[in-house]
Amino acid sequence: MTSKKRIVALAAVLVITGIIIGLAISSNFNFQSDGYTSDVAISQEAIDILSKTNHAITEVAAAVKPSVVNISSTKTIRVPGMSLPFFNDPFFKRFFGDEFGFSRGPKEFKQSGLGSGVIVDKNGYILTNNHVIRGADEIKVKLPDNRDFKGKVIGTDPKTDLAVVKIDADDLPVIKFGDSDKLKVGEMVLAIGNPFGLNQTVTTGIVSATGRANVGVADYEDFIQTDAAINPGNSGGALVNIRGELIGINTAIFSTTGGYQGIGFSIPSNMAKSVMKSLIKEGKVVRGWFGISIQEITPELAKQFGLEHEKGVLVGDVIEDSPAEKAGIQRGDVIIEYNGREVKDVTGLRNMVSSTLPGKEVIIKIIRDRREKTARIKISEMPEEMQKIAGEYENLLNGVHVQNIDPMTRKELGIPEKIRGVIVTDVEPGSPAFHILGKGDVIIEINRKSIRNVNDYSSIVSSIPSGENILLLIYRNGSTIYLTLSKG
């Protein structure tokens, strides 16, 4: 067969195939002048159900959106100057000039951030995430009606990543709090915020899980996990239920790309409400404490302690003269119930104790020597020496967070008894001490002055001028070393 005949035969096959496909399609669809319609009908019942669902979601969104605001912040980032030795060589300066490869001093630049917030009081109190406004020089709040206000920080709590901001306004639309303890996996939720600066964005999803911890966002974690789309800028926004009640503050996402991947985390409204009230009333968070170190129950430990289930938490140590010691709690006790609530893990018990007001008496149930016992404990306030100090100073130690060395921390990190000072718990990116100090360093001296506790630290650091270099003596990895913080 010639090539010309092959082409003609192929064309014929294609034409016949096209006719067959066309007949098949026309048998299923009725073509009209303005398009086509399917023969498969949608029942009126289905339309009614979906219409009601659609109407309900739009009602919830419309009710909540006026209470969700846009928060933008600006802060100054200071990068220490640097120079390489050979760039100071006269040879290089002669040919390339004095400025070649040489920074004479620190660089400063402005960094902007975007987030969300929720109006919780008609007189201008707004709940958001601490990381949204942390270190900000200026905070701007934009309401849904496009009014702009300057925000003032009332209080922050890095341990839960929550903060309260106040604007000079009144008669604002307030969101209603829901009971996050009653939340069930599978419930429909809406996330409202300002992802990527896109105001008043609403996404829907379900509660994927509750009680998520060890995410690495905050010290006290009890997150609600949701698949409602949460992206950068949603932080501080609202997670609401089908009644339009606030059941979470959107805080973080799990992502390998930086964007939405179906896993978002929200701080439960009950935890947020407790922290918010304390910040507004006291300017800080007052937490309950009863003085024990605890650990998870493993299968091996359950067997050794004669437990039928791997539930509860094991008491590893009891602090001297603490509420727990006064109540008769001993090392080796297994706590299975706290004031009528089941204790499932370490995180759960920590959250329950910390949210209990000091002075309140609670009943705990323990297992000791394979027998159940109860004990009454009067919760006290967490001692000052166990509190962290946020590093907001106008000098080179800005952004360094420290706390006193309590007995548990000393034991866990193997810090010798002779070492006195404060332990570094965090160094914020952008801090002049970033990459110089690290988590776990013990600051013993500042400018040759001894540091015994956080009070000494605060007193000395607050007196250091902004432009002054700082000499530190620290304990790190079994030895003491001197470090300097300098402007350039």
| Residues with a known catalytic role | 131, 161, 235
Q: Distance between CA 76 and CA 78 in Å, rounded?
A: 6
Quick one: which H or E segment has residue 23? Answer: helix 3-28
Phi-psi region for residue 260, left (φ > 0), alpha (ψ -120 to 50) or beta?
A: beta
Q: Distance between CA 414 and CA 442 in Å, rounded?
A: 12
DSSP state of 181: G
Of 113, 103, 186, 116, nearest to 144 by C-alpha is: 116
| Longest CA pairwise span in the chain (Å) | 104
Task: List 474's β-bridge partners, or say none.
Answer: 443, 481
Quick one: which H or E segment has residue 44? Answer: helix 44-64
Judge whether 431 and 111 are in contact, CB under 8 Å.
no
Q: Distance between CA 430 and CA 436 in Å, rounded?
A: 12
Q: Distance between CA 126 and CA 93 in Å, rounded?
A: 55
What residue type is 326 in one-letter code?
K
Q: What angle do CA 448, 452, 457 make, to 5 degrees?
A: 70
The residue whose two tokens read 């790190």 is 476
- Residue 299, SS3 per DSSP: helix
Helix, strand, coil shares, percent, the chain, to 5: 25, 35, 40
Judge whether 476 and 403 are in contact, CB under 8 Å.
no
Q: Distance between CA 392 and CA 372 in Å, rounded?
A: 47
Q: Distance between CA 81 and CA 88 in Å, rounded?
A: 14
What residue type is 213 in one-letter code?
A
Judge whether 462 and 395 are in contact, CB under 8 Å.
no
Q: Distance between CA 332 and CA 113 in Å, rounded?
A: 48
Judge whether 340 and 354 are in contact, CB under 8 Å.
no
Task: List 461's β-bridge partners, or say none.
Answer: none
Of 364, 356, 355, 361, nearest to 313 by C-alpha is: 364
